[in-house]
A and B are shown apart, each in its own frame.
Chain A
Amino acid sequence: MRRARPLLGTLVEIGVTDAGDGNPDAAIEAAFRAVEQTHRLMSFHDPASDVSRLNRGAYAQTVAVDSRTYEVLETARALRARTSGLFDIAIAPALQRLKLLPGSARPEPKLPELAAASPIELMPGCQVRFKHPDLRIDLGGIAKGYAVDRALGALRSHGIVAGIVNAGGDLAAFGPDMHVVDIRNPRYPDRILATIRVCNEALATSGGGFDPFRSARPAAPAVIDPVTQRPVGAILGATVRAPSCILADALTKVVMLAGEGSSALLDRYGASALFVAANCNIHLTADWQESLSLAA
């Protein structure tokens, strides 16, 4: 049974392939609710979200957030440290200047050196404070993956034995079934680049936005290099396989920025990657040869 709804700014699909003793309708409903809750908490656009409340007021005073938002902030902080700042949620002003996010950015924020401690202070009781007045966060690079993981958890807690959740290409599957996933060619998204067999793991892909309502061509990827504050250009698209979707989601950004330089991180997180360089060459880690078939 598969159902789809427009959520998280994309189309979210939830499938149950083996309901076991569970009720698939109720499980799918609960899973969509988990996605909706993530959306409400972490949307950059919704003025009532935790992200908006933080961006408006967390420098002036401590802001209490939902435990789920707090969990994502903790994960983001760990990732920022481990990726030496290649993954950084404090990217909103750059995205605003590039008109990829609404709102006006202040002029060049003078953020502390990336090597320094995180400018986001996380305190007990889900309290958060920003240590810098120009800090603005966007959880867009990680919230979809988190929502997928939560949706999967909802399916499992309703007794479902096997299922898959796909939020606009960020997906995760659990159970013994093998799911076949087509990866769009980042340069020509109306064509398939590769086919991957996914079982009990998560997959995420970064690349340009794609509006087949208007055109078969993609837009440039909205992945920003935190050092230059400009969009990346050398890599057109990256796909990462990881044990959880939040990790897969975050690591795609690192692979987009660092390409083969992301080796140590992929190793550390038990992840695999595939990316397409601007010259259309394809690079992939050797560990998924049996699960991946290139189209051409």
Chain B
Amino acid sequence: MVEWIRWTAPAAVAVTVTAPAHAVQYLSVGAAQKLAFPSAHFVEVQPGRVWKAEASGHVVGYFVFDRVIGKHLYIDYAVALDPGGRIRRVDILQYRESYGDEVRGASWLAQFVGKSSESPLQVGNDIRNISGATLSSHHVTEGVKRIVNFAKSLR
């Protein structure tokens, strides 16, 4: 039969302890570009943010890099679009939670000017997994919608 063990929470649980950051790097921008358009070469349309993918002399799609920033979390992700502006794929490139000091917000354009597809994303790899209160992908999906809208101005 099932036996239970009980732990009484020590009063100290409410005391602040340095919270671990949870950070994962999945893909660099360059690797994500290759996955989205394996045989294309990329031409920057907006430095570090938007590239046109070209193969055999014509446009095969667009690749957009974005970051959604919150108080304690930022997520870098990339959206690959076909020439008609439809989503081909969405990949998360980097995920970083941090509670020690808040993630600093910044104008998204200022963040990325000058970032090339070879720029290393700085966060170290953390192989741990996490289970717990459900994280919503709402902020990323809102970002994807913004990008699809923005893509209309690209063509």
Contacts and interface: CB of A to CB of B under 8 A. Distances in A.
B148 interface: no
A10 B99 contact: no
A147 interface: no
B6 A182 contact: no
Interface string B119-137: 0000000011111111111
Overall SS of chain B's interface: mixed
A231 B135 CA distance: 19
A166 interface: yes
Interface in B6-32: 6-10, 12-13, 17, 19-20, 22, 24, 26-27
B74 to A, nearest CB: 9
Contact of A203 (B92, B127, B131, B140): B131
A96 B137 CA distance: 20
Nearest to A262: B2
A189 B97 CA distance: 11
A184 interface: yes
Interface residues of A, number: 68
A172 B113 CA distance: 39
Interface string A251-275: 0000000001001101100000000
A11 B137 contact: yes
Given A203-B131, A283-B6, A296 B136 contact: no
A7 B138 CA distance: 10
A208 B133 contact: yes
A205 B68 CA distance: 25
A54 B43 CA distance: 47
A214 B129 CA distance: 22
Interface residues of B, number: 50
Interface in A214-237: 214-216, 218-219, 237
Nearest to B132: A184
Given A4-B24, A5-B92, A207 B133 contact: yes
A223 B69 CA distance: 29
Nearest to B92: A4
A9 interface: yes
Contacts of B13: 185, 188, 280, 296
Contacts of B72: 190, 212-213, 215-216
B139 interface: yes
B144 interface: yes
Given A11-B92, A216-B72, A282 B7 contact: yes
B36 to A, nearest CB: 12
A242 to B, nearest CB: 13
Interface of A: 2-11, 13, 25, 164, 166, 168-171, 179-186, 188-193, 196, 198, 203-205, 207-216, 218-219, 237, 239, 260, 263-264, 266-267, 279-287, 289, 294, 296
Question: Can you list the 3 inter-chain pairs with the closest CB atoms, starting with the nearest?
Answer: A213-B70, A184-B132, A6-B137
5 contacts: A11-B137, A180-B128, A182-B20, A210-B134, A212-B71
Given A185-B132, A285-B3, 8 more contacts: A11-B137, A168-B134, A181-B128, A181-B131, A192-B20, A196-B131, A208-B133, A282-B7
